[in-house]
Amino acid sequence: MKNVLVTGGCGFIGSNFIRYLLSESDFSGRVINVDRLTYAGNPENLAGIDTEFKERYVFVKADICDRVAMSEVFDTFQIDTICHFAAESHVDRSIAEPDAFIKTNINGTFNLLELARQNMNHLVLFHHVSTDEVFGSLGSDGYFTETTAYDPSSPYSASKAASDHLVMAYSRTYGLPITLSNCSNNYGPYHFPEKLIPLMILNALEGKPLPVYGNGQNVRDWLYVRDHCRAVWLVMQRGRRGETYNVGGRCEMANLSVVELICDTLDEMVPTATGSRRPLITYVKDRPGHDLRYAIDCGKIEKELGWLPEESFKTGIRKTIRWYLEHRDWVTRIKTGAYLEWIESHYQM
């Protein structure tokens, strides 16, 4: 793996992955980060990387749906490996406006697969990053395994399911060397503040209401983003080609408990004169098609590759809160839209 194309590298997980790959892993090649810079893509997430790794990092602003632009990327940088993160990723947005999800998540993935197929003679790997949401909802017990049937509920998860099927089909039909990972909800630094955890941290700090959907008893299995990045790199290096691996944090929590823990941790780290932040919790209308519970059995990646999450939710949430406290400027630039103005002035939108 000499020239690794990372798609969506300016997003939450992609930027953490690039930082991990260049700063912490044994990877010695070059990263080519292709990102369209949608509202969720923020070059500031990689501040310093371009200077620190001048010889080993390239950024190209492009849309993965653009066959001509992407073909040029493959040729110019002699791409031999792809780690595909780029996607529209927010369930609520997919319910309100599904179009972009179909375009990027399905057509964009198809586009990359076609280019990978055309470059088969020197392709080492196409790794596809997906979600446990493709499996739909669990009841109060049981776990998702790699053989659980797909049963997506939202336009987001349906589009990811379609992309997973395409990736698998390219492996079976054309022999494309692929690996696939389906992970649970990530959290950590650079998480865009529309998702549950950063939204609650920032609202709680500002004394704003904390909107909990329905009765707050929906369960997610929280995975610290660095643990996920370690898993992706391990699967890319040693995962069996043509296989999928589930990745979870072994941290099942009801949403209400997550929000309460955030309130209590903030109360301890940044006390207020008015006392507990828990009274900010506000129950709001439920999300349509809201999956009740996600929980991952990550026995396969544990047994085959020796991966284990290092972070518990208690330690991970503390690190995450500290990161948001120490990066108030990053937050302000997102909240005021200044990051979009910066992108516009630098990339001629």
By CB under 6 A, is residue 220 in contact with ligand TYD?
yes
- Which range, of 79-87, 206-214, 304-312, 327-335, touches ligand TYD by CB under 6 A? 206-214
**x/- contact string, 126-165, with ligand NAD (CB under 6 A)?**
---xxx----------------------------x-----
d(CA 75, CA 131): 30
CA distances in angstroms from 306 to 186, 222, 231, listed in the order given: 20, 19, 10
255 binds ligand TYD (CB under 6 A): yes
Does the footprint of ligand NAD cover residue 294 (CB under 6 A)?
Answer: no
Site for ligand TYD in 176-195 (CB under 6 A): 185, 195
Q: How far is the CB of 118 from ligand TYD (least distance, A)?
A: 33
Residue 213 interacts, among ligand NAD, ligand TYD, none and using kind-specific CB cut-offs from 5 to 8 Å, with ligand TYD
Instruction: Please spell the DSSP secondary structure of 193-210, one letter per residue.
Output: TTSHHHHHHHHHHHT--E
The residues annotated with a catalytic role in the active site are 132-133, 156
Residues 89-128 that bind ligand NAD (CB under 6 A): 89, 104, 108
- Which region, left, alpha or beta, applies to residue 214 given φ > 0 means left and ψ of -120 to 50 means alpha? left
Write out the H or E segment, with its range, that includes residue 163.
helix 155-174
- Give the binding-site size for ligand NAD (rule: CB under 6 A): 31
- List Cα–Cα distances, 329 to 42, 129, 197, 332, 334, in angstroms: 13, 30, 18, 5, 9
Span 34-53, contacts to ligand NAD by CB under 6 A: 35-38, 40-41
Distance between CA 299 and CA 56 in Å, rounded?
34
Adjacent-strand bridge partners of 59: 33
Q: How far is the CB of 218 from ligand TYD (least distance, A)?
A: 4
Enter the DSSP assignment of 138: B
Task: State which of residues 32, 87, 166, 180 lies at the interface with ligand NAD (CB under 6 A).
Answer: 87
> Got the DSSP string for 279-295?
GGEEEEPPPTT---B--
Contact string (CB under 6 A) for ligand TYD, positions 105-144, x = contact: ----------------------------------------
Stretch that binds ligand NAD, among 31-39, 198-206, 251-259, 323-331 (CB under 6 A): 31-39
255 binds, among ligand TYD, ligand NAD, none (CB under 5 to 8 A by kind): ligand TYD
| Alpha-carbon span 109 to 167, nearest angstrom | 8
The binder of 11, among ligand NAD, ligand TYD, none, by C-beta within 5 to 8 A per type, is ligand NAD
Residues from 75 through 94 that contact ligand TYD (CB under 6 A) = 91
- Which of 18, 129, 176, 199 forms a contact with ligand TYD (CB under 6 A)? 199
Does 196 bind ligand TYD (CB under 6 A)? Our answer is: yes
264 and 201 Cβ atoms separated by less than 8 Å: no
Task: Candidates 148, 154, 179, 185: give the one binding ligand NAD (CB under 6 A).
Answer: 185
- With CA atoms as reference, report the closest residue to 159 among 115, 109, 113, 195: 109
* Pairing of the two strands 219-221 and 57-61: unpaired
Yes or no: say if 117 and 216 are a contact pair by the CB < 8 Å rule.
no
CA-closest candidate to residue 247, choices 187, 180, 301: 301
247 binds ligand TYD, rule: CB under 6 A: no
Q: Min. distance of Cβ 52 from ligand NAD in angstroms?
A: 20
The two three-digit tokens of residue 78, written as one number: 């002699």
Are residues 295 and 144 in contact, defined by beta-carbon separation less than 8 angstroms? yes
Under the criterion CB under 6 A, does residue 343 sit at the interface with ligand NAD? no
Half-sphere exposure of 87 (CA within 13 A, CB side): 28
Tell me which of ligand NAD, ligand TYD, none is bound by residue 12, counting a contact when its beta carbon lies within the kind-specific cut-off of 5 to 8 angstroms. ligand NAD
Q: Which residues bind ligand TYD (CB under 6 A)?
A: 91, 185, 195-196, 199, 211-213, 218, 220, 255, 287
